[in-house]
Amino acid sequence: MSMLAALIFDCDGVLVDTERDGHRVAFNRAFADQGVAAQWSVERYAELLSVAGGKERMIRHFDETGWPGAAADREALIKALHKRKTDLFMELIEAGSLPLRPGIARLVDEAIAADIRLAVCSTSNERAVTALVKVMLGAERARHIAIFAGDVVAAKKPDPAIYNLAASTLVLDPGRCVVVEDSHIGLTAAKAAGMRCIVTRSAFTAEEDFRLADIVVPDLDVGIGLAQCRALVARSV
């Protein structure tokens, strides 16, 4: 029988429902600060979430709507916008205005008590992910959590690269890992890496296709604990 080796969490939409009231707000403030005539509505941001990564979302948006001004150096523009956006998002995190989703702290505590490895795998900026983990989960929990984020891999979700990196770095059997995701692209990445996947639907992803998921729930407080995670990896492949 296989034994659970690790719990791996996505960040945005899984640990904290950050997309609508965190990242989107920070992007819009960054656009205003930099004099860029862009304002992402909730509906527009939902469309852009089909692309993983903040820089990639801005590139798609400007490709579709037109680049600001002459935009001679598009790479520099995207870099400057993303840096400012990250600073603004950090302010939101540090203010404690983005609470953890239900069940996250409990499941992390269960894993720590049982000596199960923990990791966060996210396409978001590493600085923001690290700060979110430390501030929202606390320093004591955070020291047990390995973080893989941002541009640490060349290909972002739905490519499995970030999950493959976590497995190789932490010397984990993918079949003994359970991932918690909230999006179709995250689910696709986790399954392509050979891992089990629990989906917690979030505000922007409730209607996505989650047929590949092992379990789909509104949040982790709906009967999801370490026992259920262990049961997933105990199934014969």
Catalytic site positions: 10, 12
CA distance 236 to 56: 38
Q: Edge-to-edge, what's the strand order for the sheet holding 145-149?
A: 145-149, 117-122, 6-9, 177-181, 196-200, 215-217
- What pairs with residue 122 in β-bridges? 149
CA distance 226 to 211: 22
Is residue 123 classed as helix, strand or coil in its secondary structure?
Answer: coil
CA distance 2 to 223: 22
Q: Strands (DSSP E) along 182-225, which ranges?
A: 196-200, 215-217
Structure tokens at 8: 């791996």
CA 65 → CA 36, 53, 200, distances in Å?
A: 12, 18, 32
Q: For residues 163 and 179, is the Cβ–Cβ distance under 8 A?
A: yes
Q: For residues 132 and 93, is the Cβ–Cβ distance under 8 A?
A: yes
Q: For residues 54 and 138, is the Cβ–Cβ distance under 8 A?
A: no
